[in-house]
Amino acid sequence: MKSLIALVCLVAAVDYCLADHVCGPLQRLKVKRQWAEAYGSGSGREDFGHYIWAHVFQHAPAARDLFQRVRGDNIHTPEFRAHATRVLGGLDMCIALLDDEPVLNTQLAHLAKQHKSRAVTANSPLFPLFFPPPNI
């Protein structure tokens, strides 16, 4: 649970940094440090990915349909574990680029293009899990 809380906080911090707000050097360093702590190293990364996706599918079972190509029906398969590793690797790359905004924007555009063809958009069942609507 501690890892999931760290991930949610981290995603919120990255979202804040990438939104219309100005995210200064100290905030970016803080996000990088928090990510390094949560992401860890070695086999812990695979466990982290497994835990995240188990939580995602528990709270958004319909999201499994978005992952048919990588066996979203069973997060224990090698196909899905490899996918989870790729997702965390992509997030790691974006976080590493927080202090190089032009390159980060290029990378985010590339990832958006990849996901658009897979119908992963702001309307997907995953989006509210990572970016919940504000409490008004």
User: 84-104: string of b/e by CB count within 10 Å (b at 16+)?
Assistant: beeebeebeebbebbeeeeeb
In this predicted model, what pLDDT tens digit does every residue of 111-132 receive, in sequence order? Answer: 888 877 777 766 776 666 666 6
Number of domains in the chain: 1
CATH number (domain holding residue 54): 1.10.490.10
Alpha helices in 2-42 (DSSP H): 2-18, 25-39
Encoded tokens for 64: 């499994």
In a domain, 83, yes or no: yes
In this model, does residue 66 exceed pLDDT 60?
A: yes
- Please state, in angstroms and as integers, the Cα–Cα distance from residue 9 to each residue in 5, 78, 102, 128, following that order: 6, 28, 24, 14
| Amino acid found at 109 | A
Q: How many residues does the chain have?
A: 136
Q: Is residue 135 part of a domain?
A: no
pLDDT per position as a tens digit, 9-43: 555 555 555 555 567 889 999 999 999 998 988 88
Q: CA 93, CA 76: separation in Å to the nearest integer?
A: 24
Domain assignment present for residue 35? The answer is yes
Q: What does pTM read for this prediction?
A: 0.74
